[in-house]
Structure 1
């Protein structure tokens, strides 16, 4: 069996920037074990698989170790593949995830916009378990559906923070997001997910479903510019839309090939 595969750098305008994701089109779903093995072999933070279903696309995302509920950068990468390589017609793509429901990506010129559900985040106590994960102490903590969000005092702290992946892995969450008010953009962040096989994710679209409502309230505005301060880095345009969020960015193709299964 041969399968097409693409590798796309998402939330960037240039190759080797943003967050790389693999995208594998399927005619029908393959066994979960095989999907997981493909993702493990790819060894990227996420591999997205999609199946055309009428006028929409069913989509699932796998890290090298587990299937996840939602992945922004791999959805952006999948939309890029559909727009640029797989012949999708029209400026809007409707996705459906069994784990996250209806998702939409729209294209305007080169900019793609994710329409995702807003996460419900609630402030939680700053306990010693959370503080022990990092060299600096956060000033506030939140819990969303999947992740813990720790707010720090400055962008410089986020850039220079030292972390203990073994302690982060003990936190009962998909991952831990660290964030602060930005110096040039509205807010900055980093994402650590050793719990799901991703030590540090370069650019995490799904994390912004939690970050957008937090910073919209803090800054008193609904349109926000964000930057993820990983080594590769990534920039995102964000907007709070009631119970939904819009996350915009660009993507570029790095690789197109075949898998031999």
Structure 2
């Protein structure tokens, strides 16, 4: 069987930055074990597979080790492939995930905008005495559906954080977000997910379903600018719309090829 594979850098306007995702369009679903093996072979943060289903596209996302509930950058990249390489002309693409429900991506010039449901977050008491995963305690800890979020005073603390991935992997979560007010943007973040096979994710769209409602409330504004300050880095434009968030960015094609399974 021959399948087409795209590799896209998402949440960036230039190659070798943002977050790379592998996108594999399918005519029909293949065996889940094969999808997981393809994702492991790609060895990227996410590999997304989609199948056209009427007026929408059913989508699934895999890290090298597990299937995940939601992935922003790979959904953005999937929409980019549909618009730029598979001839879709509509203003908006509707995706459906059996784990996360309806997801939308709209196009405005080179900018693609995710429309995702907000995460449900709450403050928690956190035992810093037994947790050695981060080099500095946070001033506030929250828990969402899949991730912990650690809030810090300033961008420097986030940028200089020294994670211990072995210790972070012990937390029962998809991963952890660390965040603080930004120097040049409204907020910055990093994402660590050794539990999901990704020590540090370059740009995590889905984490912004947690970040946007938090910083919107803190800063008393619905439109925000954000940077994920991983080594590759990425830029996002964000908006809170009630129980949904908009997350916008650009994409760039890196690779187009065939895989044989």
TM-score normalised by the chain length of structure 1? 0.99
Alignment of 1:65-84 (within 5 A): 65-84=65-84
**Aligned-pair distance for 1:239?**
0.4
1:91 positional shift:
1.4
Say whether 1:94 aligns with 2:89.
Answer: no
CA contact (8 A) 2:56 2:95 kept: yes
> Is residue 128–residue 137 contact of structure 2 (8 Å, CA) maintained in 1?
no
Q: Residue 29 of structure 1 aligns with which residue?
A: 29
- Alpha-carbon RMSD across the aligned residues, in angstroms, is 0.8
Could you say what secondary structure the match of 2:119 adopts?
Answer: coil
- SS of 1:162's equivalent in the other structure is coil
Give the 3-state SS of the residue equivalent to 1:232 in structure 2: coil
Q: In the alignment, is the contact (CA less than 8 A) between 2:222 and 2:240 conserved in 1? A: yes
User: Does the aligned pair in 2 maintain the 1:140–1:152 contact within 8 Å?
Assistant: yes
The answer to whether the aligner puts 1:228 opposite 2:210 as a matched pair is: no
In the TM superposition, 1:161-172 aligns within 5 A as: 161-172=161-172
**Structure 1: how far apart are the matches of 2:260 and 2:130?**
43
What's the counterpart of residue 152 of structure 1? 152
Matched, 1:181 2:181: yes
Question: SS at the partner of 1:257?
Answer: strand
**1:6 touches 1:81 (CA, 8 Å); kept in 2?**
yes
Q: How is 1:101-120 mapped onto 2 (pairs within 5 angstroms)?
A: 101-120=101-120
Aligned structure 1 segments of 4 or more residues deviating by more than 3 angstroms: none
Unpaired segments ≥5 residues, structure 2? none
Q: What 5-or-longer segments of structure 1 have no aligned partner?
A: none
What is the CA–CA distance in structure 2 between the aligned matches of 1:131 and 1:42, rounded to whole Å? 32
What is aligned with 1:61? 61
Q: Structure 1 CA distance, aligned partners of 2:163 and 2:153?
A: 16
Measure the CA separation in 1 of the matches of 2:126 and 2:221.
26
Change over 3 Å in CA distance of 1:173–1:202 after alignment to 2:
same
How many residues align? The count is 261
Q: TM-score, normalised by structure 2?
A: 0.99
